Amino acid sequence: LMKALFVTTNPIPVKAALNMLGFAVGGLRLPLVEANSEVEEVVKRALVELGLLK
């Protein structure tokens, strides 16, 4: 999970993971942008492997 959360600039993957888990953490402020599909897939795969997400 730690590798997945640092796959790109923090807090992008952390917020993506929390949103996937159902926590309303809001968006990012510029200059940061939302996670792209590659980052989301890496984070999702890590959460599924840990049994936190189906």
The model's pTM: 0.84
- The answer for residues whose C-beta is within 8 angstroms of residue 35's C-beta and 6 or more apart is 8, 12, 13, 15, 16, 43
Identify the DSSP state of 33.
-
Biggest CA pair distance of the chain: 32
The pLDDT tens digits of the residues spanning 1-54 come to: 899 999 999 999 999 999 999 999 988 999 999 999 999 999 999 999 999 998
